[in-house]
Amino acid sequence: MAANAMNWPAALWPRQAHFSPTAQSRTGGLSLNGSEQVTVSDAGRWQARVTVAIRGEETNLALRAFLAQMGGRAGTVLVPKVDAYRPADINGRVLSQVFAAGYDDGTPQDGNGFNFDLSGFGQQENLVAQIAANASAGSTRVLISTDGSVGPRPGHYFGVGQRIYLASHVWQEEEGDPADVQFWPRLRSAADLGSPAILDRPVCLMRFATDEEGQEALSRRGSGIVTFNMVEAI
C-alpha cells in the first residue's frame, strides 16, 4: 500500500492542513460503583482536514485528476504537514532555508552551489537529522541526532519514513548526546540506525475519510474552497 502512495499534487498545495489525533484512549465503561478506568489505546491514529483553493484551469484539472487517481477511499496519498513553528538551526533558520544560496558576494551558504534558476533556495534533500539507535515498531521513544539544528522540542512534528509523529517529551542524558524523543503515536514500522528523521516537512500516509471528499460545488467559473477529510492509512 505504501509503495503505491502518491505525493500530494503540487497544484493543490494546501492552504491549511490541520492534523489531530483520534482514538487516543479506551475504556471498559462505568463500573457498578460509578468509577471508570481509562487507558491509552494502541489504536490511535491521525486525522487531518486539508483545505485547498481552486481557481483557474490548472487547479480545476488537478482536482479532477486527483479525485480520479484516489478512487475514493481506495487510494493513499502523502499529506504534507507544513507548520509555522518548525525546528531551526543555531542561526534561527528553519531547515528549508539552511541550504539556500547567498546573493551578496556569490558565495553560497553552507558550501552549496547556486541553483540553476538562481532562486537561492535549495533543490536537493540534505540530511540534517537521523535516527541515532535502532527503534522497533511500536516504540514511543527514539534517539535523534542533528547536524547544526536545534532538533525537535516538545510540540514539534517530525517524520520517519511516510509517517508523522508529535514529540511530547525531549531530553538529553548529557550535553552533546542525541535527543531522546518521546512521541505519539507508536512507531508504525522499525526505524533503523542512520535513517533520516524529517524535521522540516514531514508527511503522513493517508486516505479519504469518505468516498465523497472533495465534492464541494464550485462557482460557475470553477472557483472555490475544497476540503478533504483524511485519516491515516494503517
- pLDDT surpassing 90 at residue 28: no
97-136, pLDDT tens digit by residue? 444 434 334 444 444 444 444 333 344 445 678 999 999 9
Is 105 among the domain residues? no
Contact 22, 47 (CB under 8 A): yes
Average pLDDT on 147-168 reads: 88
Is 115 among the domain residues? no
Q: Which of 96-110, 165-179, 214-228 has the lowest mean pLDDT?
A: 96-110
pLDDT band, very low/low/confident/very high, at 170 (cuts 50, 70, 90): very high
- pLDDT surpassing 70 at residue 81: yes
Q: Count structural domains, the chain.
A: 2
Report the 10 Å Cβ neighbour count for 209: 15
Look at residues 128, 140, 149 and name the one whose alpha carbon lies nearest to residue 169: 140
Spatial distance between the Cα atoms of 26 and 40, rounded to a whole number of angstroms: 6
**Whole-number pLDDT of residue 113:** 41
Same domain, 186 and 88: yes
Whole-structure pTM value:
0.78
- pLDDT surpassing 80 at residue 59: yes
- Print the domain residue range for 167: 84-95+125-199
C-alpha torsion angle, residues 127, 128, 132, 136 (rounded to 10): -60
Same domain, 70 and 160: no
**Whole-number pLDDT of residue 34:** 74
Q: Which of 23-27, 34-38, 89-93, 199-203 has the lowest mean pLDDT?
A: 89-93
Is 180 among the domain residues? yes
Is 116 among the domain residues? no
- pLDDT surpassing 50 at residue 162: yes
For residue 70, give the CATH number of its domain: 3.30.200
Spatial distance between the Cα atoms of 155 and 85, rounded to a whole number of angstroms: 9
Q: How far is CA 33 from CA 25, 30, 38, 125, in A?
A: 21, 8, 15, 58
- pLDDT surpassing 90 at residue 79: yes
Spatial distance between the Cα atoms of 47 and 147, rounded to a whole number of angstroms: 31
- 79 CA to centre of own chain: 7
For residue 151, give the CATH number of its domain: 2.40.30
